[in-house]
Amino acid sequence: MNFPAKALLACTCMTLSAVSLGAQTLTIATVNNSDMIRMQKLSKTFEAEHPQIKLNWVVLEENVLRQRLTTDIATQGGQFDVLTIGMYEAALWGAKGWLEPMKDLPASYDLDDVFPSVRDGLSVKGTLYALPFYAESSITYYRTDLFKQAGLTMPEHPTWVQIGEFAEKLTDKSKEQYGLCLRGKAGWGENMALIGTLANGYGARWFDEKWQPQFNGPEWKDALNFYVDNMKKSGPPGASSNGFNENLALFNSGKCAIWVDASVAGSFVTDKTQSKVADHVGFTFAPQQVTDKGTSWLYSWSLAIPASSKAKDAAKVFSAWATSKEYGALVAKTDGIANVPPGTRASTYSEEYMQAAPFAKVTLESLKVADPTKPTLKPVPYIGIQLVTIPEFQAIGTQVGKFFSGALTGQQTVDQALAAAQTTTEREMKRAGYPK
Amino acid sequence: MTLQQSRRLQSLLLGTLAWAIAIVIFFPIFWMVLTSFKTEIDAFATPPQFIFTPTLENYLHINERSNYVSFAWNSVVISFSATALCLLIAVPAAYSMAFYETQRTKGTLLWMLSTKMLPPVGVLMPIYLLAKSMGLLDTRIALIIIYTLINLPIVVWMVYTYFKDIPKDILEAARLDGATLWQEMVRVLLPIAKGGLASTVLLSLILCWNEAFWSLNLTSSNAAPLTALIASYSSPEGLFWAKLSAVSTLACAPILIFGWISQKQLVRGLSFGAVK
């Protein structure tokens, strides 16, 4: 074979290998949150750096995504290469072997920089199954102008009783000004996330050490009575159908004096393009009562690779890129430092970031103290602050959420709602074979 | 009051009532279109704003983030193919049941309709597994088959009722003139039932176009129709109502325009058969 022929053969081989590598397409399932949409936008940089990997995005609403991913992963459908999941799914799916362990990450990834609470929440028996994209806790938002007008001062660590008193003073229903906005929409990730942390603050727990439901105890009664009484007194009308977005809309339009919810709202309520009260928002820790244990929730949107993926290596390269320090630096450069995905890395919380994001200090401290392994005053057999990491929890949590939402609308009393929650949870746990 | 005045008043009242009902029905669509031209802060303003500075930023955002044409093309291919397939099966089925009725015809029709009573989620897992094993996940073929099967009962029912209104004597006359079965169907039956068939086609198209459960569960990127595009703009954390309205407007527009153009046929069809 002469030289030109050899050169031609070599070129053909190189082109073919490039074509075969170029055929690697990753299908990424994610949610329509601001940070995720930004990731989709900035992923062009990743594609430029990795020309052999093409990204295909499937963006879905959170509940639809959860159902879609559960169907796909349980049947080993192999529709997706990268999944956006929370701590609940990471723990359960990781334990079942449905997710690829996140091993052999490059040294530059600096796993030690990731907050231990977040890392542990995404691990099963020391094995990491997802890389955290952003994490959130729950904090208290309040209107500094209204507090000033009323001569009130918000403590750094308020109690629920104090919050109730402030809310009552700041409520003026004739002006459509409501003292307290809390989630009321039924669902394990909706009202039960908030009520779960509220109950933790009152010393309540979902189950005792023998997996016996505890809704018949005085702690749950005190917590739910506080919630229902104060929401009736100081809450907006139709609170039982309000979730995160509805309360965000109320707060941003100046109709809420106090709102306790996810720390991710910090960037929304201070954004002048969507908030009318952006200059009058204060931030403090989530309320506590008899204890501060489990009063701030912990949740992380993370990237995981299903075991059924046919492009695991490329998926790992992308997941590591999207959750790396370099990605944070890219966001800071293109969209401003306040938009860096929060809550996952210690290095994010630089002096510059703390100044740009006024809610960062409270979020950081809340994330540091959130411990899903010790979420309540009394000991529990489960992991999770605002949730219980067992497969049965989705159904139980949503059903209990419906009873509590019913108590808020007045369909039933607090005692009836608690009795129904106790009976239902006992029945479902027995059916599931607990104690195991 | 004379009889003429009384009739005029009655007509005026009926007209006002019809307009009021039409406005109530149309208002959500009007509000969706209006919101699509608002900024996010205007979109959730209370009291709701009728007067505002319109913006195209939501449409520009959608154009930048999503490949609308690809989603719309999938919707068109899936809806029209499923409707065509549905009609291909439904017309002969309805013909035999309408003109060669047996003791079991009524029972068969009721059984077909009863399949619509099963909640789709009840068969999600078996259908998902079937689609997976046949390699049909995220393909247009999967949705065409599913939509055909979902709409078949209602299409058979509609075509059956239209055929039932056609006198058998006309078909017998055609047969006496030497028409074959094919000629009887194509040259006699279908032209008479044209209005009814048009409204059936339109209804089937609308049902396919708007279907969301199966499209969200069986597709991911390659075969995802417009319903999946709408779902991608719904967010539990963040207020994107204006963008959601814009994408919904874009998703509804083609079928609304199609319905507007063919409304004459639809009205004719609806006043022809059993839905009258």
Q: What is the pLDDT of residue A20?
A: 44
Span A211-231, average pLDDT: 97
What contacts A239, CB < 8 A, 6 or more positions away? A181, A182, A184, A231, A408
Homologous superfamily of A138-297+381-431: Periplasmic binding protein-like II (3.40.190.10)
Task: List residues in chain B touching A: CB distance below 8 A.
Answer: 39-41, 44-46, 65, 124-125, 128-129, 132, 137-138, 216-217, 220-221, 224, 228, 231-240
CA dist A168 → A141, A163, A250, A405 (Å) = 16, 9, 17, 21
**Which chain B residue lies closest to A39 (C-alpha atoms)?**
B65
Give the count of domains, chain B: 1
Q: What is the pLDDT of residue B271?
A: 63
Q: Do B234 and A273 touch (CB under 8 A)?
A: no
Owning domain of residue B201: 66-270
- CATH class of domain segment(s) A23-136+298-356: alpha beta
Of A52-66, A139-153, B259-273, the least confident:
B259-273
Average pLDDT of chain B to the nearest whole number: 90
Span B242-253, average pLDDT: 95
Q: Do B45 and A75 touch (CB under 8 A)?
A: no
| C-beta atoms surrounding A366 within 10 Å | 21
Of A143, A179, A217, the C-alpha closest to A376 is A217
pLDDT digits (tens, 9 = 90+) for A176-195: 999 999 999 999 989 999 99
From chain B, pick out residues whose CB is under 8 angstroms from the CB of A32: 232-235, 238, 240
Q: Do B235 and A32 touch (CB under 8 A)?
A: yes
Cβ A154 vs Cβ A362: under 8 Å: no
Position A197 pLDDT exceeds 70:
yes
Residue B59 belongs to some domain of the structure? no
The residue of A58, A183, A242, A268 whose CB has the most chain B CBs within 10 angstroms, and thus the best one to mutate to test that interface, is A58
Of A372, A387, A380, the C-alpha closest to A122 is A372
How many A-B residue pairs are in contact by the CB < 8 A criterion? 96
Q: Do A252 and B41 touch (CB under 8 A)?
A: yes
| Residue B86 CB-density burial (10 A; 0-12 exposed, 13-18 middle, 19+ buried) | buried
Q: What is the pLDDT of residue A76?
A: 86
Q: Do B236 and A80 touch (CB under 8 A)?
A: no
**Which of B45, B65, B125 shows the shortest C-beta gap to A253?**
B45
Of A106-110, B60-64, B260-264, the least confident:
B260-264
Cβ B252 vs Cβ B210: under 8 Å: no
Residue B38 belongs to some domain of the structure? no
Position A13 pLDDT exceeds 70:
no
From chain B, pick out residues whose CB is under 8 angstroms from the CB of A243: 236
For position B230, which CATH number holds?
A: 1.10.3720.10
Residue B120 belongs to some domain of the structure? yes
**Which of B128, B232, B237 shows the shortest C-beta gap to A264?**
B237
Q: Do A273 and B44 touch (CB under 8 A)?
A: no
CA dist B99 → B102, B155, B269 (Å) = 9, 17, 20
Strand partners, A207: A213
Average pLDDT of chain A to the nearest whole number: 91
**Which of B39, B129, B231 shows the shortest C-beta gap to A60?**
B231
Confidence of residue B276 (pLDDT cuts 50, 70, 90): very low
Residue B156 belongs to some domain of the structure? yes
Between CA B140 and CA B224 the distance in angstroms is: 8
Q: What is the pLDDT of residue A312?
A: 94
Q: What is the pLDDT of residue A245?
A: 86
Residue B26 belongs to some domain of the structure? no
**Which chain B residue lies closest to A74 (C-alpha atoms)?**
B125
Span A39-45, average pLDDT: 94
pLDDT digits (tens, 9 = 90+) for A273-297: 888 999 999 999 999 999 999 999 9
Span B229-252, average pLDDT: 89
Position A329 pLDDT exceeds 90:
yes
DSSP assignments along B72-115, one per residue:
HHHHHHHHHHHHHHHHHHHHHHHHHHHHS--TTHHHHHHHHHHG
CA dist A411 → A184, A191, A192, B103 (Å) = 14, 17, 18, 50
Query: Which string of b and e fits A5-24 if b means at least 16 CB within 10 Å?
Result: eeeeeeeeeeeeeeeeeeeb
Of B116, B147, B141, the C-alpha closest to B212 is B147
pLDDT digits (tens, 9 = 90+) for B185-220: 889 998 998 888 988 999 999 999 999 999 999 998
The residue of B220, B222, B229, B230 whose CB has the most chain A CBs within 10 angstroms, and thus the best one to mutate to test that interface, is B220
**Which chain A residue lies closest to B65 (C-alpha atoms)?**
A41
From chain B, pick out residues whose CB is under 8 angstroms from the CB of A61: 231-232, 234-236
Q: Do B221 and A57 touch (CB under 8 A)?
A: yes
pLDDT digits (tens, 9 = 90+) for A234-244: 999 999 999 99
pLDDT digits (tens, 9 = 90+) for B19-56: 999 999 999 999 999 999 999 888 888 788 888 999 99
Of A21-25, A228-232, A270-274, the least confident:
A21-25
Residues spanned by CATH 3.40.190.10 within chain A? 23-136+298-356, 138-297+381-431
Model ipTM value: 0.77
Confidence of residue A53 (pLDDT cuts 50, 70, 90): very high
Q: What is the pLDDT of residue A5?
A: 52
**Which of A40, A64, A273 shows the shortest C-beta gap to B41?**
A273
Pairing mode, if any, of strands A281-285 and A178-181? Answer: unpaired
DSSP state of A241: G
Q: What is the pLDDT of residue A12?
A: 46
Starting at the earlier edge strand, list the strands of the sheet with A256-262: A178-181, A256-262, A138-143, A281-285
Residue B231 belongs to some domain of the structure? yes
Q: Residue A418 is encoded by which pair of tokens?
A: 């608690």
Residue B28 belongs to some domain of the structure? no
Distance between first and last Cα of chain A: 72
Of A145-154, B140-149, B265-274, the least confident:
B265-274
Of A70-79, B39-48, B135-144, B157-166, the least confident:
B39-48
